[in-house]
Amino acid sequence: MLWGLAALLNAAPLIGPFLSLLFTPFSILYTVAIYRDLRQAAGGAVDLDNAWKWPWGIMAAIGFLLPIAGVAGAFLLPQISTLLQQGKAVLEQPGPSAPPQPAEPLAPPPADPTPQPQRVPEESAEAGQADARADHSEPAASEQGRGSPEPAPTLEQDLVVWSMPTQGMGNPFLALKEVSAFGHNEELLLVVTLTRPLADYFTAPEQSQEVTLLLSVYLDTDMNRETGGGSTAVQDGRTGYDMVMQVVLAADQDRRDGRAVVSMSRLQGYAQTTQGSLDNDLIAIDNSILRIRLPFSRFDPMKETVRICLQGHGLSQLTEDKVLNLLTTE
């Protein structure tokens, strides 16, 4: 029973070896009692000269050292394990590699004296060229005006394109996809592409209204930010626009068709002065594409370049400014 109790105490973590040391005197007394009982049962004293003394001494020394070794091992083994793991990690690290050699400097390319044409994004350029090629083909049936076909922009002409966000806060039937502009034959050509055909809007009574603003185009014709004005709808600090072109959609009362009306106004500060509307033959609707031709005679004053930005239907911000070269070489 005494040995069993000592074994249970020794099994306790950390303090077990210390508690088991408390039972060592009781174990010695128990051994002495057994010795006395055996001596009395033998009927006399034991001849110690004939007994083996040294094995008992060794066993006594081992019994004395075992608790000390157990306590020392409990403290030292975790530290030894940590040192072994660190040494293994150091041995597994790769040796130092040779530093990379610096690459030889590349010689700068020779300057090309030939001026390069302005680079236009591939998708936008293809869309603009496709629209222009459609104008050279046989004119499609248009709901508004005959409208003479516009020529395709060549390399000598500048083309600016705005990719509009297709998800706005306005009517989904009037979501703009892309707007492009270029100059040709004394006219500024504006191509407005929607995500859906305009006929879907005109013929949907639950969607269409009698008059809806589709697009506002702000033009800085004199390229002077000190003159003109800015947008009254979006006052973001940008000024210097001399004119604003507003594209309005007007649905028929019977909701069977509709047309586009383009009005021009002069800007002075945040005030607008109306300058009339464009003729119907300068506006053409073809499925989801609206084409507008603005004569240069409307520009006052007229410069070689013009700064343009847009505000589409349902959008709360103006697009980025783009500078367009109007005077192109035939």
- The tens place of each residue's pLDDT in the chain, 330 residues long, gives 666 766 776 676 777 777 667 767 777 887 888 888 887 787 765 555 555 667 777 887 888 788 888 888 887 878 887 888 777 776 766 555 555 555 454 455 555 444 444 444 444 444 444 454 444 444 443 445 444 444 444 334 478 898 887 665 678 888 888 999 998 888 999 999 998 898 888 887 666 566 788 899 999 988 888 888 988 777 778 888 999 999 998 887 777 788 899 999 999 888 889 989 999 999 999 999 999 999 988 887 778 889 999 988 888 888 899 999 887 644
Any idea of the CA torsion for 185, 190, 196, 198, to the nearest 10 degrees?
Answer: -80
Q: Are 136 and 307 in contact (CB under 8 A)?
A: no
CA distance 49 to 53: 9
pLDDT value at residue 94: 59
- In which element (H, E) is residue 17 found? helix 16-22
Tokens of 187: 């006219």
Return the closest-CA partner of residue 121 out of 150, 162, 88: 162
With residue 290 as reference, give the H or E element that holds it. strand 289-295
Specify the pLDDT at position 188. 92
Q: What is the pLDDT of residue 309?
A: 92
Residue 206: predicted pLDDT: 65
Amino acid at 261: V
Q: What is the pLDDT of residue 247?
A: 95
Torsion of Cα atoms, 65 then 71 then 75 then 76, to 10°: 20
| pLDDT confidence of residue 2 | 63
Other CB atoms within 10 A of residue 176 CB: 24
Task: Give the model's pLDDT for residue 101.
Answer: 55
